[in-house]
Amino acid sequence: MKIVVEIDAVFEQLLLQEDTDQDKKITKEDTGPRRFELIDSVKNTQFVVEGTYHLSNLLQELAEMRQQGLVYGEVNFDRIQEPPVERISRKIRESYWDELTRVIDSDGLQKILEDEKTTNTIPTLYVSEKDKQGVTYFSALEKEWGNFKVAILPEKYSMDYVETLNTKPGLLALATSHDEKGIKGVPFVVPGGRFNEMYGWDSYFIGLGLLIDGKLDLAKAIATNFKYQIEYYGKILNANRSYYLTRTQPPLYSSLLRAIVDHEKPDSAWLASHLETIIEEYHSVWMVMGERLTPTGLSRYKADGIGMPFEVEPGHFDEVLEPFAQKYQLPLREFEKKYLERTLVDPELDQYFIHDRSMRESGHDTTNRLINSCANLNSVDINSFLYKYEIDIAYFIATYFEDTFISQNKTYAAQEWLDKAKMRKALMDKYCWNETEGMYFDYDFVHQKSLPFEAASTFFPLWAGLCSQDQAVKLVEKALPKFVMTGGIAGSTAKSIAHINLEDPLRQWDYPFGWAPHQMLLWEGLKNYGFESKLQEMVYRWLWLITTNAVDYNGTIPEKFDLEISSHKVFAEYGNVGTEFDYIAKEGFGWVNASYQCGLSLLAPKWKGYLNQQIHPDYFFYD
């Protein structure tokens, strides 16, 4: 059913009556009558919309029509009354991915340059001198537009050189393609909100959502940009900003490639090109002794650069810097300035920031698990990801290249990669597995001891297929209950942060916060080892959280959740991206969008009906 209304008049009347806290949304916290009468402007008939969810849907539909510049429009009651699961999934599939897609070329560059991370008077785009096509194209665009600067990044550069770029930070170019229509940027998908660039491990999870939603070309474009970054910047970057040239991200390139080829049989030349780059990354980024490879034979996160990371907001490290300012008998800001300029050097503080930068390379920024220790750790997460690389490379070679693959004049067979994986599993069992606890723990190879911090990364070996069946059972039966909360698993257990000073900030990757990548990796792990009933439970818990939050809060899909209160209202460092919008959520948040689509693809039909009713998980699942 559709009725015709005068859009602006109804829009303003609806807000006046129902948006009582004037936040430009209709949520469960508003105290209006939750009942709104609509009158058809043509037929003069009356219709009633009731309830927070339906009223917020009405607001969203009116907001969309206003954006189109319409004076009168048809309100579609099928959309107003659309079941929440179908509505959330449809909006992700039909709208949110498009809103989050970016491209660095004449069509899309301006949208990226003009964001809150641009601190130069003139926005700067860095292009590798090795990328001849990119240099020519963007230099011509610079001359034509005159409102941004192209800076040429040397083909080879030191980390000291990268640090000098912090006085003139900018965006890093990504891949372009050339056909009969000219040069176009290869698209990518950003997380959303203030994150207006391509992020490393976010892109893998986003890619899984894209594949489910039939956007194969966009998922392949992400892989193309991964390849470009390795070829031109030496690594898959934390994100394509100049100050991220010092660090990479969790290695998930092979897993994205595996998801793509499992979705559609690949062109052999395309796959060979990517496989060659994956092998190059494996050797040059992750397996260099003294850098990310350690004497145990296991790997670590180890970012380059020195001193405070560039991207944090002013004052973020004041509590860290204060004791050092006192040590040198300097005011805090004066000490900070001298330290940043390197006119005052303190080795202990430098070491702290090596760990901090490495923690950010891990994607878990920040967690008490990795504070002031990350570069000393053979962490469970990085070694699970690299085990998966070894297994994936073996699979590609055996399945698509008749067990022989040549890369950079070296011939590889699948078995040697299986042997690498077997060795990594043995080392993980030796250093990281705790039989008594039924969990994996990070190993401090410097101090030769296990780190007894219970983190959600303990389930990453389950995802990678690294566990024996017995280890998998112990993880699910002994470890998992420690993490499970109403809306999914937390980033750590409450026990692991019990010793933290109450005056210290809550770290966003610890208890009680829940993140999409942790859920998605757990789900795949449960699926790998046949824990079907537990899989259904864990998917339902997380999707219930997203669904209920969207129903109660005007369609909000945030970056993360506080699982203690089952809410997007997170009071921790950095806030919560995806919660700031007027009237209508246009993009959600990248990996949460993906988790919703992935979760629905795994969920049995009966649970979807319960989700639409937002039936509380405790009704079905309890100790």
Tell whether the model's pLDDT for residue 612 goes beyond 70: yes
Mean pLDDT of 403-416: 95
Q: Give residue 573's pLDDT.
A: 84
Neighbouring CB atoms inside 10 A of 607's CB total 21
The pair phi, psi for residue 275, each rounded to 5°, is -60, -40
Cα(401)–Cα(395) distance, integer angstroms = 10
Mean pLDDT of 600-604: 98
Average pLDDT for the chain: 96
Cα(332)–Cα(350) distance, integer angstroms = 17
pLDDT, one tens digit per residue, over 41-76 is 888 888 999 999 999 999 999 999 999 999 999 999
The pair phi, psi for residue 603, each rounded to 5°, is -80, 135
Q: Is the peptide bond before 512 cis (omega within 30 degrees of 0)?
A: yes
- 3-class DSSP state of 455: strand
Torsion, Cα 366 370 375 376, to 10 degrees, reads 180
Element (H, E) at 334: helix 332-341
pTM check: above 0.95: yes
Looking at residue 132, its amino acid is K
**Which one is catalytic: 105, 356, 365, 390?**
365
**Which one is catalytic: 454, 559, 562, 587?**
559
Query: Is 559 known to be catalytic?
Result: yes
Tell whether the model's pLDDT for residue 125 goes beyond 70: yes
Mean pLDDT of 111-123: 77
Cα 462 to Cα 127, 136, 161, 251, 421, distances in angstroms: 39, 47, 40, 16, 14
Strand pairing partners for 293?
Answer: 289, 299
By DSSP bridging, strand 149-153 and strand 124-128 are: parallel
Tell whether the model's pLDDT for residue 78 goes beyond 90: yes
Element (H, E) at 418: helix 414-431
**Tokens representing 245?**
């040239």
Q: Contacts by 429-438 with C-beta closer than 8 Å and gap 24+?
A: 431/296, 431/298, 431/378, 432/298, 432/378, 432/380, 432/383, 433/471, 435/474, 437/478, 437/479, 438/471, 438/474, 438/475, 438/477, 438/478, 438/479
Q: Is 111 in contact with 102 (CB distance < 8 Å)?
A: yes
Residue 164 or 274, more confident: 274
Cα(480)–Cα(528) distance, integer angstroms = 16
Residues of the chain with CATH 1.50.10.10: 100-304+377-453
The pair phi, psi for residue 84, each rounded to 5°, is -60, -40
Q: Give CATH for domain 100-304+377-453.
A: 1.50.10.10
State what percent of residues in the chain have pLDDT above 90: 91
Mean pLDDT of 436-443: 98
Tell whether the model's pLDDT for residue 148 goes beyond 80: yes
Cα(271)–Cα(260) distance, integer angstroms = 10
The pair phi, psi for residue 250, each rounded to 5°, is -55, 135
**Residue whose pair of structure tokens reads 């040590």 in the numeric block:** 327
pLDDT, one tens digit per residue, over 528-564 is 999 999 999 999 999 999 999 999 999 999 999 999 9
Helices (H), 70-118: 77-80, 84-91, 97-100, 109-113
Tell whether the model's pLDDT for residue 184 goes beyond 70: yes
HEC sequence for 539-564: HHHHHHHHHHHHHHECCCCCCEEECC
Query: Is 82 known to be catalytic?
Result: no
Cα(52)–Cα(80) distance, integer angstroms = 11
Tell whether the model's pLDDT for residue 329 goes beyond 70: yes
Mean pLDDT of 488-500: 95
First to last CA, the chain: 45
Least confident of 77-91, 447-461, 498-512, 583-597: 498-512
Per-residue pLDDT band at 572 (split at 50, 70, 90): confident
